């Protein structure tokens, strides 16, 4: 039996519209609406309010709809005589639900019990079972569910299509019972809810129930479709709006704000809408506002488990351990197995990259409720991010057994299987995992870069990192995403760091030449340093800012440049203050805003270090690690105030963004240059390109002035200027394979082998699979006499270019001979001749080698 406790309120709330129809029937003493047509069912349904009750009952219903739950309950109580032994069914049911919403659990149970006893229908029992589940009273839940099932079976045995059409709610409850039993969601959807939606298309609760079921399995687009179906029947359906809000939030749909507003206008206290608002605030680290928001719910229900959990999460972010525990206790007093008060704050901890604390909270959730498979799934994902793949796999497997529809869990287990086939190399502080076939292409280069980064950045940030740091490189982008976040897609992500684990795409998983994977690795490794140093207690924007900053420090062609597209975004928002930076990451309006966030965060760090010194930055990270707020730490370490720091940053930005004021003359100059180049009017083209470059030197788009200038110099044979321009272009942005090719070819012509080697190595960070550039590298290294490096390059060539294998194998023999590794050379020569017996160069080498080894044997 599955036991997801916190779904309870949602389900009950989801039934409220249905309940009103039942009340309507009940109030009029009807058992069934007699003329059975679809249209009639729909109109009875939608007209429930109108036919149902007199003026007084309208009042409590209206208050209820506005979210004034306590007022509604008071008004309802006035309709019931204190010594009334026979409360009308509709009023009794409404009172039970309002009592539940307002946290009067025992009274609500008493009402539902009365309902179940008085009427031989399934409804009261289903609702009672739900309340028992919410209260963690498992035995009573089981018993009630069995009884509900029995009654539903009885109805179902004799029900035909007409019965379904006249009493769609009976079938709906059958679906809810199946959900509570933990039946296969696919069967519930196709076998029950879909039939209802087709047969009784005006019955909104079937759409809402389908939406909730799909939502609970993570199928957000499908769920949104069902909720929209319900809203087509009634645009003010609060449960459908609340469901839609959750879908939009989970899938980062831009319609979220509008839908939240619609719901808030109808009912400013709707728990579904408020919960999503609170989650958004928690993501943004605005814990203060979460406390304010949860007060709204506590005003009518001080024991609402979900809101206590949200409140506890806010305390977690504030490092207020005692307050968090007190809040958790309030929920546990009502329900000792209320695991959401640990699971939810744990999930928030992990969203803030504090996986260790997140996993500890999931352990606590599971200790009081071992059936909480959501907590188990989250624990599994946390463990993977902590680098403990084996323990993570165990938890995920168990979570999968309990819920085979959790997409994240399913995907993660699949990727763990493919990781088993990866090759793993441990060297120094690092363990590198990657597809075995890519070893000669990326392994050495990655480990060398990581060693460099570790030496440099540990010293610079005054810290010793926890090792081993695990780096996983995937040749399949979806695998990388699943490994990192549990879901495929998001082609914008290149790498992700979790503190002790870095995951990233191999260049083979990206479009050829589209990014510099060394820059990605440098960026992610910088996160290892800053996240570990602060024990993951730093805002995302600052961690990104330092990573972008360190990229540019290492190579000016890495990191972020000023982009003309930022102008529109900044014109709309105005210059951001330091406190605004986090929102670019936690709730970016568009992918463009996210990119702008990276740029601005990087610029903040650059400015901060220039203005207050690297030491101030390092000290501020120490303070954050000790629990101080980020802005306070930054200001205090710089001996300034937050306000002054903000002002200085904005002053810096004004200057830094100056080029954005020249976009029009820049575009005009660029256009003039392109036209002149087309007409082969090289002098005019050169002048215009230079002017464009001066106006906006950082533009790195595909038709940037430096690329244009290079074309001009190429056409006019000005090789010195061409080389300089190509270097300039690559110094702005390294992921330009064409520029690397031209540069390499120039150095080859000049026989400048050292420069050629450098260029070919730079190119390999953009595309290590390019065999032409790799052959040039081999040539340079052989000329330079760096035989060991050349041997590595031969291995890379053999991995990426099988058509020329004999040629590379010969080169390997020759290089081994240069290194006087005679035996290895001889073995390779024999093997080469076995495969290609007539390869005379190989024959000659073998002869030499035989003589050589015999001479050695004599000596």
Q: How is residue 820 written in tokens?
A: 């006087």
**Chain centroid, CA 19 distance in Å:** 38
Secondary structure of 37-83 as H, E, C letters: CHHHHHHHHHCHHHHHCCHHHHHHHHHHHCCCHHHHHHHHHHCCCCC
Q: Are strands 501-505 and 495-497 parallel, antiparallel or unpaired?
A: antiparallel
Long-range contacts of 274-278 (CB under 8 A, 24+ apart): 274/307, 275/306, 275/307, 275/310, 276/245, 276/246, 276/249, 278/307, 278/310
| Closest approach of Zn ion to the CB of residue 522, in Å | 11
Residue 490 or 671: the one with the smaller Cβ distance to Zn ion is 490
| Closest approach of Zn ion to the CB of residue 495, in Å | 7
Non-local (6+) Cβ contacts of 777 within 8 A are 756, 757, 760, 761, 764, 793
Q: Which residue has the tokens 């009029």?
A: 28
Residue 68 or 544: the one with the smaller Cβ distance to Zn ion is 544
Residue 57 or 503: the one with the smaller Cβ distance to Zn ion is 503
| Closest approach of Zn ion to the CB of residue 540, in Å | 8
| Closest approach of Zn ion to the CB of residue 304, in Å | 36
Q: How is residue 60 written in tokens?
A: 């409590």
Residue 242 or 521: the one with the smaller Cβ distance to Zn ion is 521
Q: Are strands 430-434 and 423-427 parallel, antiparallel or unpaired?
A: antiparallel
Cα–Cα distances (Å) from 818 to 323, 635, 724, 797, in that order, read 71, 59, 35, 19
Residue 559 or 708: the one with the smaller Cβ distance to Zn ion is 559
| Closest approach of Zn ion to the CB of residue 598, in Å | 8
| Closest approach of Zn ion to the CB of residue 524, in Å | 7
Residue 192 or 520: the one with the smaller Cβ distance to Zn ion is 520
Residue 406 or 547: the one with the smaller Cβ distance to Zn ion is 547
Letters for 263-302 (x = contact with Zn ion by CB under 5 A, - = none) are ----------------------------------------
Return the range that interacts with Zn ion (CB under 5 A); candidates 362-370, 498-506, 541-549, 683-691: 541-549
Non-local (6+) Cβ contacts of 508 within 8 A are 438, 441, 475, 769
Residue 314 or 528: the one with the smaller Cβ distance to Zn ion is 528
How many residues belong to the chain? 859
User: Which of 764, 718, 760 is closest to 743 using CA atoms?
Assistant: 760
Long-range contacts of 333-337 (CB under 8 A, 24+ apart): 333/303, 334/105, 334/135, 334/303, 334/305, 335/5, 335/134, 335/135, 335/136, 335/305, 336/136, 336/368, 337/3, 337/5, 337/136, 337/138, 337/368, 337/369
Helix (H) or strand (E) holding 431, with range, is: strand 430-434
User: Which of 371, 301, 394, 310 is closest to 97 using CA atoms?
Assistant: 301
Which phi and psi (to 5°) does residue 217 adopt? -100, 5
Return the range that interacts with Zn ion (CB under 5 A); candidates 160-168, 329-337, 537-545, 735-743: 537-545
Q: What is residue 397's three-state secondary structure?
A: helix
Non-local (6+) Cβ contacts of 445 within 8 A are 518, 764, 765, 768
Q: Identify whether the C-beta of residue 441 lies closer than 8 Å to the C-beta of residue 402.
A: no
| Closest approach of Zn ion to the CB of residue 544, in Å | 5
Residue 290 or 531: the one with the smaller Cβ distance to Zn ion is 531
Residue 369 or 543: the one with the smaller Cβ distance to Zn ion is 543
Return the range that interacts with Zn ion (CB under 5 A); candidates 278-286, 321-329, 547-555, 762-770: 547-555
| Closest approach of Zn ion to the CB of residue 539, in Å | 13
Long-range contacts of 355-364 (CB under 8 A, 24+ apart): 355/382, 355/385, 355/386, 355/498, 355/499, 355/536, 356/386, 356/536, 357/316, 358/382, 359/383, 359/386, 361/316
Cα–Cα distances (Å) from 593 to 277, 584, 827, 844, in that order, read 21, 6, 58, 64
Residue 609 or 648: the one with the smaller Cβ distance to Zn ion is 609
| Closest approach of Zn ion to the CB of residue 611, in Å | 23
| Closest approach of Zn ion to the CB of residue 599, in Å | 13
Residue 108 or 547: the one with the smaller Cβ distance to Zn ion is 547
Q: Which residue has the tokens 């204190």?
A: 82
Return the range that interacts with Zn ion (CB under 5 A); candidates 139-147, 323-331, 432-440, 543-551: 543-551
Residue 26 or 563: the one with the smaller Cβ distance to Zn ion is 563
Non-local (6+) Cβ contacts of 246 within 8 A are 215, 272, 276
Residue 207 or 549: the one with the smaller Cβ distance to Zn ion is 549
Residue 357 or 544: the one with the smaller Cβ distance to Zn ion is 544
Return the range that interacts with Zn ion (CB under 5 A); candidates 252-260, 290-298, 375-383, 539-547: 539-547
Going edge to edge, which strands form the sheet with 501-505?
A: 423-427, 430-434, 469-474, 501-505, 495-497
Rounded CA gap, 281 and 288, in Å? 9
| Closest approach of Zn ion to the CB of residue 550, in Å | 11
Residue 267 or 515: the one with the smaller Cβ distance to Zn ion is 515
| Closest approach of Zn ion to the CB of residue 3, in Å | 38
Return the range that interacts with Zn ion (CB under 5 A); candidates 49-57, 63-71, 544-552, 740-748: 544-552
Which phi and psi (to 5°) does residue 336 adopt? -65, -15
Residue 262 or 547: the one with the smaller Cβ distance to Zn ion is 547
Residue 438 or 544: the one with the smaller Cβ distance to Zn ion is 544
Rounded CA gap, 186 and 177, in Å? 14
Long-range contacts of 395-400 (CB under 8 A, 24+ apart): 398/373, 399/373, 399/374
| Closest approach of Zn ion to the CB of residue 497, in Å | 7
Q: How far apart are the first and last CA of the chain?
A: 79
In terms of C-beta density within 10 A (0-12 exposed, 13-18 middle, 19 or more buried), how is residue 569 classed?
Answer: middle
Rounded CA gap, 491 and 489, in Å? 6
| Closest approach of Zn ion to the CB of residue 494, in Å | 9
Return the range that interacts with Zn ion (CB under 5 A); candidates 128-136, 366-374, 542-550, 710-718: 542-550
Number of residues in contact with Zn ion, rule: CB under 5 A?
2
| Closest approach of Zn ion to the CB of residue 711, in Å | 34
| Closest approach of Zn ion to the CB of residue 519, in Å | 11
Return the range that interacts with Zn ion (CB under 5 A); candidates 138-146, 545-553, 602-610, 733-741: 545-553
Letters for 485-524 (x = contact with Zn ion by CB under 5 A, - = none) are ----------------------------------------
Residues that bind Zn ion (CB under 5 A): 544, 547
């Amino acid at each position: 039996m599955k036991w997801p406790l916190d779904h309870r309120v949602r389900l009950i709330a989801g039934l409220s519209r249905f309940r009103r129809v039942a009340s309507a029937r009940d109030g009029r003493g009807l058992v069934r609406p007699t003329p059975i047509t679809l249209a009639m069912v729909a109109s009875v349904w939608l007209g429930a309010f109108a036919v149902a009750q007199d003026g007084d009952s309208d009042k409590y219903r209206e208050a209820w709809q506005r979210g004034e739950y306590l007022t509604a309950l008071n008004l309802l109580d006035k309709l019931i005589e204190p010594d009334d032994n026979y409360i009308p069914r509709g009023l009794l049911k409404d009172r039970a639900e309002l009592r539940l919403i307002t946290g009067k659990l025992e009274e609500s149970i008493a009402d539902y019990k009365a309902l179940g006893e008085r009427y031989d229908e399934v409804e009261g029992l289903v609702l009672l079972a739900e309340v028992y589940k919410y209260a963690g009273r498992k035995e009573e839940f089981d018993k009630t569910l069995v009884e509900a099932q029995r009654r539903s079976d009885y109805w179902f045995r004799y029900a035909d299509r007409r019965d379904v059409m006249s009493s769609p709610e009976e079938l709906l409850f059958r679906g809810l019972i199946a959900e509570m039993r933990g039946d296969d969601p696919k069967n519930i959807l196709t076998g029950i809810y879909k039939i209802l939606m087709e047969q009784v298309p005006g019955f909104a609760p079937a759409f809402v129930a389908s939406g909730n079921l799909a939502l609970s399995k993570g199928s957000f687009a499908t769920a949104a479709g069902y909720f929209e179906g319900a809203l087509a029947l009634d645009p003010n359906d609060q449960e459908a709006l609340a469901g839609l809000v959750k879908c939009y939030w989970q899938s980062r749909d831009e319609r979220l704000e509008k839908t939240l507003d619609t719901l808030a206008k109808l009912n400013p206290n709707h728990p579904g809408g408020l919960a999503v608002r609170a989650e958004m605030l928690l993501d943004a680290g605005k814990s203060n506002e979460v406390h304010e928001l949860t007060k709204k719910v506590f005003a009518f229900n001080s024991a609402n488990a979900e809101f206590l959990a949200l409140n506890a999460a806010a305390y977690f972010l504030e490092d207020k351990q005692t307050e968090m525990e007190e809040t958790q206790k309030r929920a546990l007093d009502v329900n000792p197995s209320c695991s959401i008060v640990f699971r939810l704050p744990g999930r928030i901890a992990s969203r803030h990259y504090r996986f260790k604390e997140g996993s500890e909270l999931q352990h606590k959730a599971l200790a009081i409720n071992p059936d909480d498979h959501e907590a188990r799934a989250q624990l599994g994902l946390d463990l993977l991010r902590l680098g403990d793949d084996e323990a993570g796999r165990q938890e995920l497997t168990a979570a999968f057994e309990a819920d085979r529809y959790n997409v994240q869990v399913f995907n993660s287990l699949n990727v763990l299987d493919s990781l088993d086939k990866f090759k793993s190399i441990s060297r120094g502080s690092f363990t590198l995992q990657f597809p075995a076939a890519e070893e000669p292409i990326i392994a050495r280069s990655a480990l060398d870069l990581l060693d460099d980064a570790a030496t440099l950045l540990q010293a610079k940030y005054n810290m010793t990192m926890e090792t081993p740091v695990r780096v996983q490189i995937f040749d399949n982008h979806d695998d990388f995403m699943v490994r990192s976040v549990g879901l495929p897609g998001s082609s914008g992500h290149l790498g992700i760091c979790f503190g002790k684990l870095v995951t990233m795409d191999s260049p083979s998983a990206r479009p050829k030449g589209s990014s510099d994977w060394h820059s990605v690795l440098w960026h992610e490794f910088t996160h290892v340093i800053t996240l570990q140093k602060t024990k993951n207690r730093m805002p995302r924007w600052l961690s990104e800012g330092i990573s972008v900053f360190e990229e540019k420090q290492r190579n000016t062609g890495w990191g972020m440049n000023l982009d003309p597209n930022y102008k529109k975004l900044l014109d709309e928002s105005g210059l951001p203050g330091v406190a605004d930076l986090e929102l670019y990451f936690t709730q970016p309006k568009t992918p463009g805003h996210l990119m702008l966030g990276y740029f601005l965060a990087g610029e903040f760090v650059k400015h901060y270090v220039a203005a207050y010194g690297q030491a101030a930055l390092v000290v501020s990270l120490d303070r954050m690690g000790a629990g101080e707020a980020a802005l306070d730490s930054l200001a205090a370490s710089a001996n300034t105030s937050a306000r002054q720091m903000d002002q200085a940053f904005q002053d810096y930005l004004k200057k830094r963004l100056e080029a954005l004021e020249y976009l029009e003359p820049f575009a005009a100059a660029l256009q003039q240059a392109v036209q002149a180049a087309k007409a082969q009017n090289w002098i005019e083209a050169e002048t215009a390109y230079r002017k464009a470059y001066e106006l906006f030197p950082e533009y790195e788009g595909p038709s940037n002035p430096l690329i244009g200038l290079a074309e001009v110099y190429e056409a006019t044979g000005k090789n010195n200027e061409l080389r300089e321009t190509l270097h300039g272009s690559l110094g702005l942005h390294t992921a330009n394979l064409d520029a690397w090719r031209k540069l390499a070819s120039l150095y080859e012509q000049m026989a400048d082998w050292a420069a050629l080697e450098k260029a070919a190595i730079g190119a390999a960070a953009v595309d290590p699979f390019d065999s032409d550039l790799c052959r040039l590298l081999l040539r340079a290294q052989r000329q330079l006499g760096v035989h060991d490096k050349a041997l590595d390059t031969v291995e890379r060539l053999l991995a990426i270019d099988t058509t020329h294998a004999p040629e590379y194998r010969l080169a390997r023999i020759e290089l081994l001979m240069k290194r006087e590794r005679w035996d290895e050379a001889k073995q390779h020569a024999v093997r080469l001749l076995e495969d290609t017996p007539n390869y005379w160069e190989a024959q000659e080498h073998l002869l030499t080698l035989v003589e050589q080894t015999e001479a050695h044997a004599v000596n």
